[in-house]
Structure 1
């Protein structure tokens, strides 16, 4: 599951449980800041990122990529 929503006038929030998207963000989107990491039995389950408003299009594109995997 991957979701995107608006936080305020400067940031969007991206939540993902998809490991491929997490790897892609770590590699290509260095300006996405980690807000929260979710663990279950000491295993990473999901990550929530703070996305600058200028990267809104990238965040929504990642959400669409998650649907097709």
Structure 2
């Protein structure tokens, strides 16, 4: 998984990709435990993207481009 991420992003800095691989694996459903490892460990569903940030909903709804995000 980490190797594919490094190849797809043409990078040799594996330590930066490690956190993305970790959250991806910990947020994958496991049939044995009937949920994700993240949920078992922390008791909640992982928050990803801007919706997981503490940004007002009205402001978040107005964002549509990276430039909009940079203006905040």
| Higher fraction of helix | 2
TM over 0.5: no
Which category describes the TM-score, using the shorter chain as reference length?
under 0.3
Q: Which of 1 and 2 has higher RCO (CA within 8 Å, sep 6+)?
A: 1
Bigger radius of gyration: 2
Length-normalised TM-score, structure 1: 0.23
